[in-house]
Amino acid sequence: MAGSRRPFTPLRNLNAKIAAVPMILTVLVVFIGCTLWTVVYSFTSSRSLPTLDFVGMDQYVRLFRTSRWTVSLKNLAIFGVLSLSFSLVLGFILAALMDQKIRFENTFRTIFLYPHALSFIVTGLVWQWILTPAYGVQKVVRDLGFETFNFPILTDGRFTIYAIVIAGLWQGTGLVMALMLAGLRNIDDEIWKAARVDGIPAWKTYLFIIIPMMRPVFITTLVIISATIVKVYDLVVALTNGGPGISSEVPAKYVYDLMFSRGNLGQGLAASTIMLTTVLIILVPWALLEFRPRYRKGEASK
């Protein structure tokens, strides 16, 4: 019957589809379009302005022969491994302590999470003041009578990257704690009761029961931290500006300097493409793990 005919499928939820058009265009033009533009022009000899003078892989070869880029990758690896490891461990320990229903929990949670509300510029300037030998930690300790104490973490190029790690951990660990605490609060109390009845120590309960159950939380946290690590820029600029020399250079700062200070668009875009590839290496496995179809045992046995 004519009255029972279903509406033409493309016209269903038409208002919602119209409302989604601006976001779809943004994704297509800004994200996908600009990404493709970056990749294409990374194979050109573009300088201050983009040109379609293709030079193959020359920009990439030149990029990996540049000592500044090599130092940037090394620093990113150090910053990434240390930030990822310590933020996950410290964040989980803080969350486990907060999950004990302690007094003034809201106050402590606010204190730990507050640094994340600050911009990286503010964090960098604060820690620059704390770590500068002239009026920071070194001066305070020397004023206490330890006149031979040295803490050249900002002035010695061998240790500067670790200053950035410290500042990054101070700002980011609170967010990890909040994510972990949310995951712990979703654990059924019956699991804890069963573990106590069976006489399982608390550390074994966390290690072999709780942490495996929090796998989605850990994966999400890992992706958030990893994306922040790859694009770290303003913290470095505010804290060390890549110095002394190029000792604390990172890829994002290298890209900015090449493209906007030195007018070397082609090599800057090549470096950007490498950073994009790094992010994809992180995101693609996560997407495959999280969004792969999960089959029930009954369906798998058919």
- pLDDT beneath 70, residues of the chain: 1-13, 290-302
Query: pLDDT at position 295, please?
Result: 47
Domains in the chain with CATH codes? 67-300 (1.10.3720.10)
Alpha-carbon span 144 to 236, nearest angstrom: 30
CA distances from 12 to 1, 19, 22, 24 (A): 20, 13, 18, 18
Query: pLDDT at position 148, please?
Result: 87
Query: pLDDT at position 11, please?
Result: 62
Closest CA to 113 of 170, 167, 181, 174: 174
Query: pLDDT at position 1, please?
Result: 46
Is there a contact between 232 and 119 (Cβ–Cβ < 8 Å)? no
- For 126, what's the count of Cα atoms within 13 Å in the CB-facing half-sphere? 12
